[in-house]
Amino acid sequence: MSMDESIAFLSMHDVRRRMDAGEFGPVALTETMLARVDRTQNSLNSFISITREVAVREAQGAEAASGNGEPTHALHGIPIAYKDLLATADIKTTFASRAYADWVPTYDASQVRRFREAGAIMLGKLNLSEGAADSSSQSSAFGGPRNPWDIERITGGSSGGSAAAVAAGLVFGAIGSDTAMSIRQPAALCGIVGLKPTFGRVSKYGAMTLSFSLDHLGPMTRTVRDNALMLQVMAGYDPQDPTTVDLPVPDFVAAVDAASPRLDGIRIGVPRQPFFEGLAPGWNSIFEQALGVFAGKGARLEEFTLPHAEDLNHVGSLIIAAECAAFHAEAYRRDPMTFGPGLRAMIETGQLFSAVQFVQTQRLRRKLSEQTLAAMAPYDALLLPTTPLPACPVSEDDPSLTVPRLRNTLLFNVLGVPAISIPCGFDAHGMPVGLQIVGKAFAEDRLLALARSYERETPWHTRHPNI
């Protein structure tokens, strides 16, 4: 059945409303989205695996359940996809690496299981940086994904395929992972919403690791409300992941729906240095306009200095290298040359650290984090650019760009606090720009509400690439 493809950019809520009204069913929707995936795969390369048979089978099951009048979840029948580091039973899970290219898990990652139980439809496994370890996704063993706003440019990384697929209207949402920037930076460069939740809010069981203590899984969507819908499925204690925290899970969707148009009484910290320095040409005015939206709604914006920003990033880089080397130790010993040069260099330099240096790094992480969290405490949120650098042409991508690209994000992985990137404009090249909002630990409901309050005043989330 052929459908009007404008449906591809609807919100999840609108898709469900139209399905509930009988306009179309999960099977027709899935087939329409799969056709879009097929048509764009050569140019965007956003998928590593397209799981057509699974998708159709799941859609048929969802349609049958709907026909039986069974109560269904808000994501029932909605096509999504997973970054190809989440284990999927009987479906290869590659980490975008030749070292793991033949791995077919016998189990689902907790997040995959949760979305299957909610009735979401899996269209496939999304492209990423090899081992989630670069900032452009171009190191993928399957070739890098391309940005749907300009296919000559990078998507960002490491969740580049996820960001491209959501932005291009191939899926209604995706799960990404974020160790230093990897949900937020590609979300910013592809013009979508990407949330890194609080460390411990979302189970990582069954997700391949870049850094045990810095990895976070989170939702990538086109709107804040859809992001809340996905987080509602993802959040919560999981006995299979000892890093998850057994705290009550707020109603994120209700918080977004109740977001006030006014922000009176909200105190927002604006850490100018170094986060607003060295921005791409034309970006300064975009961010000033974004700050002006918050001020215009009554929020109190205060410039302040976030202590230890640079040292927190240093701590993060040491932890990533050492924990990355630990995760890949066995596969590396077996055959180091199955790893691409970027990931192999990270593993080998991670092996250089002594045990004493690693322990000292952990101790410093705690000391700096306590002081920095105390400095952030007076503020309801922080506002800053998601990344200082735009999506460059693929031909100009270089590993040396990784450090500036993660300058504004890695420290929040070290701190573990939640942070979201939302679209806040377009530059002179027509490429999207992302604003980062940082919230308080385990207060994603307030963070999402603040993001929605901005989103409802601006048109950026309504623009989509022509592909």
Partner 1 sequence: MKSIDKKRIHQYFGREFSDHELEFYGARLTRQMQALERLRAWESELGSIEPATVTRMLRASEE
- From 94-102, 276-284, 399-407, 444-452, span contacting partner 1 (CB under 8 A): 399-407
Residue 441 sits in the site that holds partner 1 (CB under 8 A): yes
Enter the tokens of residue 100.
């793991």
Residues involved in catalysis: 83, 158, 182
Calculate the dihedral angle through the C-alpha atoms of 205, 210, 214, 218, rounding to the nearest 10 degrees. Answer: -60
Under DSSP, the state recorded for 235 is B
14, 31, 348, 427: residue in contact with partner 1 (rule CB under 8 A): 348
104, 254, 329, 352: residue in contact with partner 1 (rule CB under 8 A): 352
Residue 110 sits in the site that holds partner 1 (CB under 8 A): no
- Report the chain's terminal Cα–Cα distance, integer Å: 21
CA dist 415 → 179, 214, 412, 453 (Å): 12, 9, 5, 25
Nearer to partner 1, 278 or 296 (CB): 278
159, 198, 211, 386: residue in contact with partner 1 (rule CB under 8 A): 198
95, 100, 172, 442: residue in contact with partner 1 (rule CB under 8 A): 442
Nearer to partner 1, 104 or 403 (CB): 403
Residue 346 sits in the site that holds partner 1 (CB under 8 A): yes
By CB under 8 A, the count of residues binding partner 1 is: 44
State the nearest-atom distance from the C-beta of 452 to partner 1, in Å: 23
Residue 364 sits in the site that holds partner 1 (CB under 8 A): yes
State the nearest-atom distance from the C-beta of 150 to partner 1, in Å: 27
**Contact flags string 151-190 toward partner 1, x per CB under 8 A:** ----------------------------------------
Nearer to partner 1, 88 or 198 (CB): 198
27, 128, 233, 415: residue in contact with partner 1 (rule CB under 8 A): 415
State the nearest-atom distance from the C-beta of 201 to partner 1, in Å: 10
Backbone angles phi, psi at 47, to 5 degrees: -110, 145
SS (H, E, C) 66-124: HHCCCCCCCCCCCEEEEECCECECCECCCCCCHHHCCCCCCCCCHHHHHHHHHCCEEEE
Give residue for tokens 């700050």.
Answer: 291
**Contact flags string 284-323 toward partner 1, x per CB under 8 A:** --------------------------xx--xx-xx--x--
Contact criterion met (CB below 8 Å) for 428 and 402: no
**Contact flags string 202-241 toward partner 1, x per CB under 8 A:** -----------x----------------------------
Strands 300-303 and 121-126: unpaired
Q: Which amino acid, residue 35?
A: A
366, 378, 396, 404: residue in contact with partner 1 (rule CB under 8 A): 366
Question: Comparing C-alpha atoms, which of 400, 465, 467, 460 is closest to residue 224?
Answer: 460
Q: What is the CA radius of gyration of the chain?
A: 21
Give every strand in the sheet of 216-221, ordered side by side.
Answer: 47-50, 121-126, 79-83, 174-178, 216-221, 193-196, 419-426, 432-438, 381-385, 267-270, 300-303
Q: Which residues pair with 150 in a beta bridge?
A: 147
Residue 427 sits in the site that holds partner 1 (CB under 8 A): no
Could you tell me where the beta strands, DSSP code E, fall in 179-266?
A: 193-196, 216-221
- Specify the 3-state DSSP secondary structure of 261: coil
Residue 458 sits in the site that holds partner 1 (CB under 8 A): no
Contact criterion met (CB below 8 Å) for 445 and 252: yes
State the nearest-atom distance from the C-beta of 203 to partner 1, in Å: 13
**Sign of the Cα pseudo-torsion (212, 213, 214, 219, in order):** positive
Nearer to partner 1, 40 or 402 (CB): 402
Residue 400 sits in the site that holds partner 1 (CB under 8 A): yes
329, 359, 430, 462: residue in contact with partner 1 (rule CB under 8 A): 359
Q: Report the half-sphere exposure of 58 (CA within 13 A, side-chain side).
A: 26
**Contact flags string 369-388 toward partner 1, x per CB under 8 A:** xx--x---x-----------
Contacts with partner 1 by CB under 8 A lie at 198-200, 213, 243, 245, 310-311, 314-315, 317-318, 321, 341, 345-346, 348-349, 352, 354, 357, 359-367, 369-370, 373, 377, 399-400, 403, 414-417, 440-442
